[in-house]
Amino acid sequence: MTSAITGSTATSMRLPHDRSPGSQILRDLIGVALLAVASLAAGLMINRSSSAPLPVVYQSPEQRFDAELTTLVAAPPFKIAPAPAVGLDQFRSALDGKSTLILDARPSAFFAVGHVPGALNLARDDFARDYRRLGAVMQDAHDKPIIVYCSGGDCHDSRLVANALLTLGFSNVSVFTGGWEAWSAAGLPVSTGSAP
């Protein structure tokens, strides 16, 4: 009889441990989570090494356009393709002819304090927003002459905006290098507020 007891004890020892359904589900969930993390990591690494990676965070078409415009304007001055420069006399002649689009590249606060009459504000620091706001005007001016000015002197904002416009396909863009400084020093007419 001892052999029957021993055999039955040996059989019960070889049976798999009784696992509760909760622990089995937990083990399976941990396995699925680890597999998901490994898949995500592999996907991100493959995307990052791709020649044309997909953005990780969704951006609307308007957000992508704004980012591209901001990148155009943020180019350092040494990468700027030289736009022709105009002096005060040429600038005044273009303004009097009324066929040239005049753009002020200074921040909107400075534009509101004083700007060249008829100029539109296309600020370097808010280029994407201002470019979209002026969309219809800018599309009509694609083949018209455009002159961009800023504060003058060491101000590079007008050159940065001019370079961005040239990159966007505007063909006749110039920079009034004397800028607001030369205009106001000559005692020429001034407009105030946000309207041209």
pLDDT (0 to 100) of residue 6: 52
pLDDT (0 to 100) of residue 105: 95
Strand order in the sheet with 101-104: 85-86, 173-176, 146-149, 101-104, 120-121
* Residue among 94, 95, 105, 90 nearest 152 (CA): 105
Query: Which of 85-89, 166-170, 175-179 is the least confident region?
Result: 166-170
Residue 20 lies in a domain: yes
44 and 122, same domain (yes or no): no
pLDDT (0 to 100) of residue 71: 73
Region 120-146: mean pLDDT is 91
pLDDT (0 to 100) of residue 16: 54
Residue 56 lies in a domain: no
Residue 194 lies in a domain: no
3-class SS letters over the chain: CHHHHHHHHHHHHHCCCCCCHHHHHHHHHHHHHHHHHHHHHHHHHHHHHCCCCCCCCCCCHHHHHHHHHHHHHCCCHHHCCCCCEECHHHHHHHHHHCCCEEEECCCHHHHHHCECCCCEECCCCCHHHHHHHCHHHHHHCCCCCEEEECCCCCCCHHHHHHHHHHHCCCCCEEEECCHHHHHHHCCCCCECCCCC
pLDDT tens-digit map of 135-173: 899 998 888 999 999 998 888 899 889 988 988 889 899
Domain housing 31: 2-49
pLDDT tens-digit map of 30-79: 999 999 999 999 998 998 898 888 878 877 777 777 777 777 666 655 45
Residue 74 lies in a domain: yes
pLDDT tens-digit map of 7-36: 444 444 555 555 687 888 999 999 999 999
**Predicted confidence (pLDDT) at residue 123 exceeds the cutoff of 90:** yes
38 and 15, same domain (yes or no): yes
* Residue among 74, 116, 126, 71 nearest 96 (CA): 116
pLDDT (0 to 100) of residue 54: 80
pLDDT (0 to 100) of residue 195: 75
Can you read off the two tokens belonging to residue 115? Answer: 């700007």
Residue 67 lies in a domain: yes
Residue 191 lies in a domain: no
pLDDT (0 to 100) of residue 92: 94
27 and 69, same domain (yes or no): no
85 and 176, same domain (yes or no): yes
69 and 30, same domain (yes or no): no
Residue 109 lies in a domain: yes
pLDDT (0 to 100) of residue 137: 92
What is the b/e burial string over 103-134, where b = at least 16 CB atoms within 10 angstroms of the residue's CB?
bbbbbeebbeeebbeebbbbbbeebbebbeeb
Region 106-125: mean pLDDT is 94
Q: How many domains does the chain divide into?
A: 2
Tell me what the pLDDT averaged over the chain comes to: 84
Query: Which of 116-120, 132-136, 192-196 is the least confident region?
Result: 192-196
30 and 65, same domain (yes or no): no
